[in-house]
Amino acid sequence: MDPITDPSAWPEPAAPEYVLHLYITGATPNSTRAVHNIKAICEEFLQGRYELLIVDIYQQPELAQREDLIGVPTLIKRSPGLVRRLVGDLSDRDRVLKALGITPSADGPTRYE
């Protein structure tokens, strides 16, 4: 079989290193900011290594109930490491990076913890 034309010969895609779930409430200003902020952080620091699931709790309230959310927007980091929760619009970039275990270097490449 030819590995170029046979999809079964292609390597399996790697699982994402970071699994993030963002719970929002429709298109409210805070929810819109949270989506924008986490997408920008992911693209800058985790490009190609993350999975981001955005859940609108107005459309899927059962998912919010399952998570016992106390405020929205809420970002839940499922992996790597311990599960972490951040509530708010994620505009405090340093706090978000710390919760994700990312330490940006002032003079060099970003270090991941």
Instruction: Delimit the domains of the chain by residue range.
Output: 18-112
Decide if pLDDT at 2 tops 60.
no
pLDDT for the residue 25: 96
The kind and range of the H/E element at 56 are strand 50-56
What value does the mean pLDDT of the chain take?
Answer: 86
The pLDDT, as a whole number, for residue 7 is 60
Beta bridge partners of 77: 20, 84
- Looking at per-residue pLDDT, the higher value among 15 and 42 belongs to 42
Asked if residues 46 and 18 have their Cβ atoms less than 8 Å apart, the reply is yes
- DSSP character at residue 8: G
Domain 18-112 has CATH 3.20.20.140: no
DSSP code, position 14: P
Which whole number is the average pLDDT over 17-46? Answer: 97
